[in-house]
Structures are given as C-alpha cells and as structure tokens.
Structure 1
C-alpha cells in the first residue's frame, strides 16, 4: 500500500453495462484502487438519493427518542445481534468506549429460519422499533446497497484474474450488516476519537456519512482525511479480502476523529455466507506454505463482534459464551497490524 494522501473516485456505472470491455475496465480500476489504497469512493452506483433521504429521516426520528424508548430495542435482548447500541456499549481501541450510538440491522430472516433456530449468532430476524415507516425505509436502503455490493464482489474477482463467480458463489445468505450510526453533537469533542482505529471484519464496506470525521491509515503510517463526497459511497477493503488475496488487498485501518458536529454514518458491511472458508486463493499462496490459517467468514465476524460489544464480553466472562476455536484478537489485519500503529 502506498503513502497516498487522498482517496480516488471510481465511477462504477460500467458494471451495469453489457459491454464486456467496459466491465473489465471498471474492474481493473477497482483492483488498482484496492491494491494501492484500499479505500476509495464509488460513484455511478444507481442508488437513488431519495432512498438515502428516507433512511436519514427515519434514523433521525429514532435517535431523537428518549433513551428508555430506544432501549426497548436494546441489542443485548436479541439472539442474533440486532437492535439499539447505546453510547458506551462498544470499545474497539484499548477498551475506551466509542462516543456514538447505533442501530444494527442485517438480512431480515423469518423467525422460523433454520440457521436462526439452530442458534446461529449472526443470522435471524431484525429487531424493529415501533416507529411507523422505520423498518420499510431501512430495508429499502439495505436491499439497494446490497445489490451494489454484489456487483463489487464480482468485479473484485475479475480484477484479480479469477472467475467472476469466485466470491459471489459464496454470497447467497450473508450476515451483511447495515449499521445506522449517530455521533451526537459534542462541543468538547475537538480532536477526540469517535470510534477507535480498526479494520472491518467482512469483505468490504459501503459507507454513506453525512459529515467529516473519517480517517484512513496510509502505508507511511499517516492518517488521511476521507470527507464525504456528494453522490458517492466510501468503500474500504476488509479482513476477508485481505486473507483471500494474502495481503495483495490490505484491509484498511480507519477511525473517526474530530466529531464536533452531529454526524450520521451508514456503513453496510458486505460479507459472504457464514460457513464460507476463507484462505489465500491458489495464485496468492506462499511458496513456503506459511499462509495465515483459514477463517470461517461468519465465525470471524462473530468473534470480532463479541470482543467489541460489552454485552457479549460479559457473556464470555461468565462462561455463557465461548468464542469459536481459532478466533483472532482484534486488529490482526490491515496497516495497523503491519505497522503496530495505535
């Protein structure tokens, strides 16, 4: 990864083209951005801005509710990690609670889904507050952005010279999460962390923020601002693409700082199916055979999540919850791990 000082913009409208040359051109551009930066904007997604406006309005309405009302949807009441995340629930950097609140959703499965009934910790029905139009606005946005994620997943395979379905064949029923994140106005938060440095646990993230604050770590160990750009999503490489490519794509360490103004952020963490085994593709395997051990996509997501959320850490400490065998500690991917940066 280079010592970049800005983040490129890639127009992906060509991924909806029937022209193979145009498709390949966009995939190549995405591959270059993923290798050299690992963080980039995408325009031309086809996601209607009106969808985002409805999502933002519904999100504002929810977070404006009294805390006791929001806590009716507390994530700790869910069996599959869905619902309201109060301020102080998360702390991904040095155990310092993040200065934000959130609402977590994902693929909304029925209550009789077999994986949910079998106790899968990340698959199941969403938790919805009793707020008219909230579930509809969130679901509509989720489905639209998830479709963009499928296009990108296919394009990344082409960019790597692989069969276009190399990754998408593993994306039929994914624990891809959409988070609605609220950073409250805090006039005393100058140069304070809103969320600690971390990589994302999935393949990649599609993010739509409403205000500045996001920073990404470059190859020289410098933090680079990634401000909102109208009409785009921010995309960053996650842990699983780093593992699949054995570091050709580096998961990008990022954080939120200087959150003085009120800020909303909407990351969709695009994942593959829970039981997918992820290990370096043959073209990226080390000649000496000393590759990182494989991970199961959903188990990695769950293990990292369980180490980040207070309600899950309490269950681990009490012995009620046991992490999957081979689970990694936090921050084992990306420039943060390579450079030992905190």
Structure 2
C-alpha cells in the first residue's frame, strides 16, 4: 500500500524554468519549488530549462562520445565493464537487460562513468562495488570533456535535491547532507541507426535506482507511463534536461513522489542519450520521512541507497548476474527485485 497522490492520466510532461533557484528572489524561488513539487507528485517527470549548464560542455562531450562509439567493437571491448572492479567502462549490445531474462536484450551500447575517485580511495580499497576510479579510453580529450559535463550537471543535481526537500516542507538540507561522495553515474548511451526498426525495445520498462535523473537525449524514443498505465512520449527539448523521480525519493516520501516507470522504444534514427543518475552517499539509510507515515498506511521498508543501487545493477547486467549465479557475489540483505518501484509496480498490484 502506498500513499495516494494526484498521479493520473497525464498526457504531457511539464516544463519548468529553474533559473530562479540561483537567485535571491524568494518569491520566484518558491514558485519554481512549488512547480517541481507538483510535477514530482502528479507526473514523476518534468523538463527543466534555465539550468545554466554551458551548451558547449554538452557539444564537446557529444563529439567525443560519437568518436568513441564509431570505433570497432574489438577496440571498445578493451574497456569492457566486466573487467572493472567498480562498474565502469564499455557496455556492449546485449550486456544489459532490465526485463526478464527470457526477453530480448536491450538494443544499445553504453559507456558507464561516475564519480572519479583515486585508486587509493579508502572505500574503493575496501571493496565498495560502486565507488572508485573511472575507466577512460585512450582517446585525446575524452576524459576531460566527460568530466567537465559530469561536474556541471552534478551541481544542478545538488540544487534540485535541495528544491525537492523544500517542496516537501522539510529541512532544506534533509537530503543534501547525505550527498557528499555519491555513486552518481553518468551513462553515455548509443542507439545505432536502424532503418528497419519496428517498435522494438531499446530499454525495457523500469524505474531509476537513485534519487532522480537528469537526462539529455538527442532524439525521440523515451516514453513515460501515466497513472492510467498508458505510455506518453517524452521527446527531447533543445537545451533542456528531462528529470525523473527515482526509487530513493519514492521511498523517502513513502510514495508521495512517484518513481514513474519509463522505457525507450527503438527509433530508426541514430540516438545518443546521457542520463546522470543523481544519488546520495552509498551508506545512506533511506526510510520514509515521519510526515509520510500516516495512520492506516504502513511505512515502506528502509533500504541503504548504495546497496539498492548495487543490487539492482547486479540483477540487470549479464557479467554480474553470472557472478551471482556462481556464488562469487551475493546481493545485500533486504534487496528487492527489479520493478519494485514506480507506476508499473502499482499497475501490477492494483
């Protein structure tokens, strides 16, 4: 059972100019925060403009990413994610599947990065599966372009995390105090040109495992599930980020904010997609805030943010599923299955 919200049969996704979040204009900031809160409760997805991220950072990263994915598979596999100790590197077509194993694999390739920590970082040395150094291809300018974009978007994420707290009427730092060394991933994703595409799955229906996501796509394909179980197009808007609520904000609010299910349909045109999955620190215990534990509505079971991320990742990637099957890896205690959060989970239990 979850707290009921106004999430309904929406047919479009709101667009919010967040520029006022960086000003001293209290009235304008409140208006933006209220719009963010409304979108999180009623849709779970929204676009943001006015982020202040230099478009040149995106274009420079895109240029580097296109050059990398144009290389032969043999070259890209030198950086195979399965060789990493902290889930970084190249993800070939078919490696990842967010649906049941008997379904078709995702039709995409990717390169996964995150907070780039030194090799002697104590958490990495202690064996943390999601914290450590990035894997960088031997390509001039790649690491620099991706890192610059990552840092700029991560700063926007910090501001949005603050705004979510204010929108809930909480201490403005209730979430940001837990975001100091986060396993926030930036995925560089590529869908190849396919002139014969016919409504084929690119990424199966899922929610995002972290607090929320800041996405920049280059072409259509993204779809969002509304409260009636219908799929709504979320086409790219030039210069705008697509923001969606993830599992941890749904858990913190006991369902007041909804981790709306979404998917990618295969389109004929070549498509690049850059989601930054904003998370809180690995060891953060996430439990429903007291205001959302109401009479007759039990509190959801707490989870540790990083353990949830690792458990969901381990169930989605082939190289990690093999290690689970062999006993080399085990899921953290209390882990939940894929598809536990979001609107699709509600539809299944309605």
TM-score range, shorter chain: over 0.9
Superposed, which structure 2 residues align to 1:134-145 within 5 Å? 134-145=142-153
Residue number among 10, 16, 22 corresponding to 1:4 in the alignment: 10
Q: Which residue of 1 aligns with 2:54?
A: 48
Contact 1:9 1:43 (C-alpha < 8 Å) held by counterparts: yes
Task: Tell whether 2:77 aligns with 1:71.
Answer: yes
Q: Distance in 1 between matches of 2:215 and 2:340?
A: 22
Task: Tell whether 2:25 aligns with 1:19.
Answer: yes
Moved over 4 A (4+): none
Once the two structures are TM-superposed, the CA of residue 292 in structure 1 deviates from its matched residue by 1.4
Q: Secondary structure at the match of 2:216?
A: strand
Q: Which residue of 1 aligns with 2:336?
A: 328
Q: Distance in 2 between matches of 1:89 and 1:286?
A: 42
Residue number among 251, 255, 259 corresponding to 2:259 in the alignment: 251
Q: Which residue of 2 aligns with 1:230?
A: 238
Q: Distance in 1 between matches of 2:239 and 2:67?
A: 23
Q: Which residue of 1 aligns with 2:3?
A: none
Once the two structures are TM-superposed, the CA of residue 231 in structure 1 deviates from its matched residue by 1.7
Q: Distance in 1 between matches of 2:218 and 2:88?
A: 23
Q: Distance in 1 between matches of 2:212 and 2:254?
A: 15
1:5-48 CA-partner distances (Å, limit 9, x unpaired): 00010000010011222222211110001111011100000001
Q: Which residue of 2 aligns with 1:340?
A: 348
Once the two structures are TM-superposed, the CA of residue 286 in structure 1 deviates from its matched residue by 3.4
Which 5+ residue runs of structure 1 have no aligned equivalent? none
Q: Which residue of 1 aligns with 2:292?
A: 284
Q: Which residue of 2 aligns with 1:300?
A: 308
Q: Distance in 2 between matches of 1:246 and 1:218?
A: 19
Superposed, which structure 2 residues align to 1:120-199 within 5 Å? 120-199=128-207
Q: Distance in 1 between matches of 2:100 and 2:344?
A: 13
Q: Secondary structure at the match of 2:111?
A: strand
Q: Which moved more, 1:253-262 or 1:73-82?
A: 253-262
Which 5+ residue runs of structure 2 have no aligned equivalent? 1-6
**TM-score w.r.t. length of structure 2:** 0.96
| RMSD between aligned residues | 1.0
Q: Distance in 1 between matches of 2:81 and 2:151?
A: 22
